[in-house]
Amino acid sequence: MEFISKAIKCTQLQILFLYFVVMDILLVAGVLILEIYNIISQDGLTEMVEINFIQTSILAMISSGAIIMTIVVILLKNEFIKNFYNISSALHYTVWVVVAAGLILALESGISMAISPDIAGDIELKELGHILSPLIVYMVFISPILSECVFRYAIMSCKFLNQYVALVVSILLFVGVQSSGDFNQMLILLPAGIILGYTYLKTRNLWYTIGIHILYCMLGTILIGI
């Protein structure tokens, strides 16, 4: 009972539970609610703009991600404050973030072109419609912040794992989850998992990994023309 009590109070486990369980529940609930709302709108009972299933799924993902990210950031508010004051200098932070983000983007682009030169062309922007702007906010800010709190902090600060074992687990989980199990996407995301994991291992500072993740997502979004 004491072990269970400690586990429930463990911030890392709380974050993992929120991400892998609660977020999925919210996602499914969101899709169902939006689909029902959409059916009602088609019957003329509301004036809500009709949205297709892809838009419904993305809206539910954005909403559930934003909710979970907010809760996680609140849980880690003291960690964020401590990490902020542990940044050695603005120059060191900027150089590390820019170089790491650039390296990730270069490696991902190279692997992506080697695997499938037309991979960027698979994105159908016309299917996104009016949810494109919220999707960009999700990809550039919400997802990176949430990913770093989960895959770097929650896993790599776990006291039950050796730091190098935790690094490997972090990389594998990050690549597996973010790629949805697609092997080509796993290869493309591998440099990000390694560099972000190494950065957290060396700095133990979420601001570094979040900065890198946001910057490379922002640059990637610009490059694919969204």
> Which of 72, 102, 105 minimizes the C-alpha distance to 206?
72
Q: What pLDDT, in 10s, does the model give residues 45-84?
A: 444 444 566 777 888 899 999 999 999 999 999 999 999 9
Q: What pLDDT, in 10s, does the model give residues 5-18?
A: 544 558 888 899 89
By the 8 A CB rule, do 135 and 54 touch? no
Does the CA dihedral 206-211-216-218 come out positive or negative? positive
Q: What pLDDT, in 10s, does the model give residues 82-112?
A: 999 999 999 999 999 999 999 999 999 899 8
User: What does pLDDT average to over the chain?
Assistant: 85
Q: Which two tokens stand for residue 58?
A: 């993305």
**Between 226 and 147, residue with greater pLDDT:** 147
Compute the half-sphere exposure of residue 31: CA atoms within 13 Å on the CB side of its CA.
11
Q: What is the pTM of this model?
A: 0.87
Q: What pLDDT, in 10s, does the model give residues 20-34?
A: 999 989 888 877 887
Band of pLDDT at residue 120, cut at 50, 70 and 90: very low
Band of pLDDT at residue 124, cut at 50, 70 and 90: low
Report angle CA 25, 158, 214 to the nearest 5 degrees. 65
Q: Which two tokens stand for residue 176?
A: 């597996």
Q: What integer pLDDT is reported at residue 55 of this predicted model?
A: 77
Mean of pLDDT values over 206-221: 96
Does the CA dihedral 173-179-185-188 come out positive or negative? negative
pLDDT higher than 60, residue 175 = yes
Which 3-state string (H, E, C) describes 98-111? HHHHHHHHHHHHHH
